[in-house]
């Protein structure tokens, strides 16, 4: 009868120890650069803002979208108010 030790064999293709250490180092280096990038600040220069305005003008996007958003918000709220009043009238007539 064969013993338990004779059944198990050593793996023939092993990864070198230095390669595991190297891959750990590269992973940590990548994580460090990702953290540095995520914590960095992006300051918009005048040149960048000029290019952005030029692109917005070329493609028809307005320079002041906040004003448009306020106008749209007012339109939406007035439409919702009118719909609510109409619904209240219809429910009042049904009773």
3-class DSSP state of 44: coil
pLDDT in tens, 39-79: 887 777 888 888 888 888 888 765 566 777 788 888 999 99
For residue 7, being part of any structural domain is answered with no
Position 24 confidence tier, pLDDT thresholds 50, 70, 90: very high
Report the candidate in 64, 56, 86, 67 with the shortest Cα–Cα distance to residue 75. Answer: 67
Computed over every residue of the chain, the mean pLDDT equals 82
Q: What is the pTM of this model?
A: 0.35
Domain, as residue range, for 54: 17-93
Rounded CA separation 77/10 (Å): 74
In a domain, 67, yes or no: yes
Residue 2 lies in a domain: no
Is 38 a domain residue?
yes
**In total, how many domains does the chain have?**
1
Task: Compute the distance between CA of residue 37 and CA of residue 48 in angstroms, rounded to an integer.
Answer: 20
């Amino acid at each position: 009868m064969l013993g338990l030790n004779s059944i198990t064999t050593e793996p023939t293709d092993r990864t070198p120890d230095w390669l595991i250490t190297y891959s750990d180092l590269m992973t940590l280096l990548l994580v460090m650069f990702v953290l540095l990038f995520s914590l960095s600040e992006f300051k918009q220069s005048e040149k960048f803002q000029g290019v952005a305005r030029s692109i917005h003008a070329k493609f028809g996007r307005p320079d002041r979208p906040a004003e448009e958003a306020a106008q749209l918000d007012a339109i939406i709220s007035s439409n919702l108010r009118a719909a609510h009043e109409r619904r209240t009238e219809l429910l009042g007539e049904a009773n």
